[in-house]
Amino acid sequence: MTAGTESLGEPGKKSRPTRRGVLLGAGLAGLGGALAGCSTAAVPYDANEAGVVEQDSPARSATAGSGATAGAGGMPASPMPASPMPASTAEGSKPKKGAMGPKVSGAVLGTASEIPVGGGKIYAAAKVVVTQPVRGQYKGFSAVCTHVGCILSEVADGTIDCPCHGSEFKITNGAVVTGPAPRPLPTKQIEVMDGKVVLL
């Protein structure tokens, strides 16, 4: 008795296929048809989505004159069908670099116009002081005094001043000008983008 058939129990009678055998045969036939439709042709590295090498492509000169690439069974392979590109990846749909301006990644403290040349501004909420020793050169420091941790209160006459015990720090590098502060102010990374002072 063959697989997928059942005997009716009478000698001399032909066997008929079972439902399982019919379904199995139909499934294998469908799989064979699907595989027969697949292309096994090699596609050049710089081919477009249709599997075609452009005229001015270097790979074209390497493959020219070699004839069509044979697929399985020695049959000439047809180019792969073109599939439409998603709109998000289509050429020309991506914004050009820098078209939307630089992306601000950090906390915006304020505007650069708020910081006077030769002075600075204290952002107490962020505990940061930003100075502009010379035009266009911005420096960021911690606004916490290195003596006992008071928040600095004023930027005047080239120094950043502490209200608690009179410590003063240089606006150029945060170094101690007047004690009792034992150490310079730690630096903070800032950047001016689109006229805004950003704490990185």
46-96 per-position pLDDT tens digit: 666 666 666 654 544 444 444 444 444 444 444 555 555 544 444 444 444
Give the global pTM.
0.48
- Domains, in order of start, for the chain: 114-199 (2.102.10.10)
pLDDT of the residue at 59: 46
SS (H, E, C) 42-73: CCCCCCCCCCCCCCCCHHHHHHCCCCCCECHH
d(CA 116, CA 196) in angstroms, rounded, equals: 14
Residue 185 has pLDDT above 90, yes or no: yes
134-167 per-position pLDDT tens digit: 998 999 999 999 999 999 999 999 999 999 999 9
Q: Give CA separation, 2 vs 6, 15, 23, 166, in Å.
A: 8, 9, 15, 103
